[in-house]
Structure 1
Amino acid sequence: MVQNAMSATEFYILKYLWSRETPATFSEIMTHFNEEEKKEWKKQTVNTFLTRLAQKGFLNIDKSGKRAIYIPSVSRKKYYEDYAQQIIEDSYEGSLKNFVCAFTENHKLTSNEKEELLTYIHSL
C-alpha cells in the first residue's frame, strides 16, 4: 500500500481521520481543518485530496446515506508496518538484519533495549 505514496497534505488529512473514533463527514473535515487547524482550504481543494486518498487506496467513501462518510481503509498500524517494510525492501535489500545494523551503527543499544530486542526475536 505504501507504494501509492501520498502528499504531505493527504497524509495530514489521513492522520486526522485516524485520530477520530468515528468516520467523518465532509463538513466535519472542513470544520476541523478550517476552524480548529486554522487552514483556509476551499471545498474543492479538500475534495481533491479526499478523492486522491480514495484513488490510492487509503480511504473509503461511503455515499449510501444522505452525506458521504469518509473512512480510512488502512489502519495507522498497518500503514506504518507497510511503510517500514517498504523502507527495508528499498534501502536494505529486504534484510531486516541490514536495517538493524544500519540503525544501531551510530546508536548503541542499551542493555535493556538489547534484552527487549532479543526477547522479541525469540518470540517470533
Structure 2
Amino acid sequence: MRAKPLTESEKITMKCVWDIGDGARLSRIMTLANDKYGKEWKPQTVSTFLGKLVRKGFVEQYRDGRYFYYRILIDKHTYRTQMIRDDVEFWDDDSLEMYCSELLDKKTFTAKERKQLKSIIADAKD
C-alpha cells in the first residue's frame, strides 16, 4: 500500500506516535510534540492531526476504558523508504547517481559524515 503524503504537522504527530509505539495516547503524543519539537499544541490540535492520520491509513484509533489509543498501521521504515524513492524520482529525475552525489556533497554533510556514509554504502554492497 502506498502511503499518502503528510503535512509537516502530520509528520511531527506521526513521528511522535512512532517514537512512543503502539498504544500511544493523545496526552503523551501532545507532550512529546510540545517538548521535542517546541510546539504549543493543545489536545484539540493534536486530535485533529490524529484524525487525519487515521483517515490517511497511518494509524487506527481504538478505545480501552475511557481513553483512546493509537495503533501504528504504517511503520516508519516503510514511510521513509517511500519518501526517499519519491525524492529520487521527483528531484533527481529517477537518477540514483544524482541523488548519491547530493548525499556526498560537502554542503549536505560534514567530511566525517560523508566518510561514514561511504563506509555504510560499501558495507551494504551485495
- The structural deviation recorded for 1:50 is 0.5
**RMSD, aligned CA:** 3.1
> Does the Cα contact within 8 Å between 1:33 and 1:39 map onto a contact in 2?
no
Q: Which has the larger radius of gyration?
A: 1
Gaps of 5+ in 2: none
* Residues 36 and 119 of structure 1: CA distance in aligned 2, closer, same or farther (over 3 Å): closer
Moved over 6 A (4+): none
For 2:121, the equivalent position in structure 1 comes to 117
Query: AA paired with 2:43?
Result: K
Query: AA paired with 1:120?
Result: A
Distance 1:47 1:14 in 2: 12
Given the two structures, how large is their TM-score scaled by the length of structure 1?
A: 0.70
Correspondence list, 1:1-124, <5 A: 1=2, 4-30=4-30, 32-33=31-32, 40-63=40-63, 65-66=64-65, 67-104=67-104, 106=106, 110=115, 114=118, 116-121=120-125, 123=126
Deviations 1:62-90 (A, max 9, x none): 24x33321122222222211111110111
- The structural deviation recorded for 1:106 is 4.7
Query: Which protein, 1 or 2, shows the higher relative CO under an 8 Å CA cutoff with sep ≥ 6?
Result: 1
Gaps of 5+ in 1: none
Given the two structures, how large is their TM-score scaled by the length of structure 2?
A: 0.69
- The structural deviation recorded for 1:33 is 4.9
Percent sequence identity is 23
